[in-house]
Amino acid sequence: MSRPTRLAAVATARLAEAGVPSARVDAEILLAEALGIDRGRIPVADDATAAQEAAYEALIARRAAREPLQHILGRAYFGPLTLAVGPGVFVPRPETELLAVRAARQAGRGAGIVDLCAGSGALGLYLAATVPDSRVVLVERDPAALAYLRRNAAGTGATVLAADVRDPGLPARLTELLGTVNLVVSNPPYVPDDAPLDVEAAADPALALFSGPDGLDLIRDLAPLAARLLAGGGEVGIEHDDTNGAGTAELLRRAGFSDVAEHRDLAGRPRYVTGRMDA
């Protein structure tokens, strides 16, 4: 049997050597998983059993091979949400919470909300959980992502719609489901085709990442779609690559949005753009 703190220290060194950027945090999260305790209790936990040590070794070996932490755990945290994730669906990033928080503040009680390219459902389900009486539709086309989305949306009251955002019939389907749409959010594929990725990001499905030479191919379609959905007034918020915020803003202006604003994340990088559609 071994002390948990010693196990965590050895694992931290191993993950750091493997190039894991958050080695200590990941080592402790995985140790808590193996021990079945909260991470904060590691310093006072009982010695690990042989079975727990073996389980921990298996988890650390996977992380040292640069398998994403969220894939190992089978879940990701996003604001108040715990989302099922794994191979085949984009893992939500903490930076996206900034868009979610702003969108929740802008949406009024009972708002009709559409999350385009919903993936695991992070944005739309955050809004379903935080905007009173909201009516949320989550749009996703990829079958693998849809499996996670349906699991995450179960019991939330949000509606999952299997559809391509480029389908010309989509606005009519959304209007039928929601009536008036007050808010459109999206964290779409936006990475330029030749952009380098770190090992963990490359584990996300390419369909959820790349969108043409400048990363704007899908956003070129999302901007006019959002304008059509919000013809009666409302706000759009779209996350983008840190190289194409100005391009995203210009696409919203061309689609007829006013008060277009670019927003940065906590690290100061361009992260998302918002705009308003006048009624």
Query: Would you state the structure tokens that stand for residue 156, as one six-digit string?
Result: 């939330």
Mean pLDDT score, 126-139: 98
Predicted pLDDT of residue 231: 85
pLDDT at 272: 98
For residue 269, give the nearest of 240, 230, 234 by alpha carbon. Answer: 240
Residue 186 pairs in a beta bridge with 116, 238
pLDDT > 90? residue 148: yes
Rg (C-alpha) for the chain, rounded Å, is 20
pLDDT of residue 244: 95
Nearest alpha-carbon partner for 56 in 45, 126, 278: 45
Residue 99: predicted pLDDT: 98
76-277 fold: Rossmann fold (3.40.50)
- The answer to whether the CB of 34 falls within 8 A of the CB of 42 is no
Q: pLDDT value at position 232?
A: 86
> Where do the CATH 1.10.8 domains begin and end in the chain?
3-66
The pTM assigned to this predicted structure is 0.94
CA–CA separation, 135 vs 236, rounded Å? 16
175-184 mean pLDDT: 96
Whether residue 148 is annotated as binding a ligand: the answer is no
Determine whether the annotation assigns residue 94 to a binding site. Answer: no
Beta carbons of 236 and 257 less than 8 angstroms apart: yes
Residues of the chain within CATH 3.40.50.150 domain(s) are 76-277
Q: Work out the pLDDT band at 279, boundaries 50, 70, 90.
A: confident
Q: Is 168 labelled a binding residue?
A: no
For the chain, give the mean pLDDT.
96
Residue 243 has pLDDT above 90, yes or no: yes
Q: Is 92 annotated as a binding residue?
A: no
What pLDDT sits at residue 189?
Answer: 98
Share of the chain above pLDDT 70, in %: 99
Is there a contact between 241 and 190 (Cβ–Cβ < 8 Å)? yes
Q: What's the rounded Cα separation, in Å, for the pair 273 and 238? A: 5
Residue 235 marked ligand-binding: no
Share of the chain above pLDDT 90, in %: 97
Identify the three-state secondary structure at position 125.
helix
Q: Looking at domain 3-66, which of 1.10.8, 1.10.600, 1.10.3470, 2.60.40 is its CATH number?
A: 1.10.8
172 vs 116, 180, 216, 235, CA distance in Å? 15, 11, 25, 19
pLDDT at 42: 95
Contact 189, 209 (CB under 8 A): yes
Other C-beta atoms within 10 Å of 213: how many?
A: 10
| Residue 1: per-residue pLDDT | 54
As a whole number, mean pLDDT of residues 109-120 equals 97
Summarize the confidence of residues 14-29 as an average pLDDT.
97
pLDDT, average across residues 31-36: 97
Average pLDDT over residues 214-228: 98
Is the per-residue pLDDT at 190 higher than 80?
A: yes
Mean local confidence (pLDDT), 215-242: 96
